[in-house]
Amino acid sequence: MHPLVDFAIAWDWEYDQEFVRLLETSAQALGLRTYSISHHNCEETLRALQLGRLDFSVVLDRTAETDERFAPLSRLFTRRGVKFLNPPDAVRHAADKATMHLEFITAGVHVPYTIIVSPYNKKREIELSLSELARLGRPFIIKPANTTGGGTGVIIGAETLKDVIDSRQHHKNDKYLLQEHIQPLMLDGRKGWFRVFSVSGMVYPCWWDPDSHVYTALTGPEQRQWQLVEMNNVTRIIASVAQLDFFSTEIAIPAHHRHIVVDYVNEVCDMRLQSSHADGVPDSVVKAIAQRLAWRARQLSRDVA
């Protein structure tokens, strides 16, 4: 019988190394056999799977379909019935910000005022009235619906219709979102802006400065002091919409204290540690996330067994 690995992690970003190490350590502490798939052994792993020399129960794929070298592996996992933390179909669905925008509204999640614009290659002339543009305010935000990894294609300080016309031609097959700029409330000298991680039913909220990108873990007393407990409920609603085991979202608190989801679903989270990178995630949060993912991997591997 071919060797069965309980939990595999596929990754293609050099800065993921510390996070993968934490994941493997956490999983092994739970008795799971782990396997790391990166550039150096991607093809070798594919051959071993095809020849029946290796098999997996659960996989976390952090390549996000960005590297074609990993695509045959992902397809083979799907055919073999390997369980995914973040199934590929759900990842593709959640990555479309236009789709998420509409589904969030249906689910009762508050989002910025937004105009969704058709892809340039589908409709070259943009139908946008001056009153609609005025309602966005100035400056407003322009972002492609699917091409925003790491902020790709996003314009924060848009001012005119010409900005919209020019932006659409950068990703001609993608829809665009035009969004009002949300000004967060200041809470004891800090911006009321948060990046919140969701991992299999658990919520890990952090203060996050949208200008410096610096994180600080949000404590329970702070949540109660600033009436931020609702943020956990909002994140769980997003999890039910996105159907992902692991993602992050951004939530801002404007002057009227309503929780506004300003960046919908980041399906592959940047998990660099703060001890190594000034704009990384607090180490305690990364470790907690690794442990929760390992717990979920054990749960899924038992289902396979």
Do 200 and 145 fall within a single domain? no
Q: Counting Cβ atoms within 10 Å, is residue 126 exposed (0-12), middle (13-18) or buried (19+)?
A: middle
Single out the residue in 158, 180, 202 at which a domain terminates.
180
139, pLDDT greater than 60:
yes
Mean pLDDT (the chain, rounded): 91
pLDDT at 305 (0 to 100): 52
Q: Which of 272, 269, 294 shows the shortest CA–CA distance to 283? A: 272
pLDDT-based confidence at 1, cuts 50/70/90? very low
* Coil/strand/helix, residue 236: helix
146, pLDDT greater than 90:
no
pLDDT in tens, 84-93: 999 999 999 9
CATH number of the domain that residue 171 is part of: 3.30.1490
Tokens of 71: 């695509």
pLDDT-based confidence at 115, cuts 50/70/90? very high
pLDDT at 161 (0 to 100): 86
Of residues 119 and 104, more confidently modeled: 104
pLDDT in tens, 269-285: 999 999 999 999 999 99
Per-residue CA distances from 190 to 31, 52, 159, 216, 231 (Å): 42, 55, 27, 10, 17
Q: What pTM was computed for the model?
A: 0.93
The domain total for the chain is 3
275 domain-assigned: no
pLDDT-based confidence at 43, cuts 50/70/90? very high
Domain that holds residue 138: 113-180
Per-residue CA distances from 117 to 62, 176, 238 (Å): 29, 5, 23
107 domain-assigned: no
Average pLDDT over residues 12-24: 96
Single out the residue in 180, 201, 232 at which a domain terminates.
180
Do 191 and 149 fall within a single domain? no
Tokens of 299: 């749960």
pLDDT at 303 (0 to 100): 74
244 domain-assigned: yes
Of residues 133 and 103, more confidently modeled: 103
Average pLDDT over residues 162-185: 90
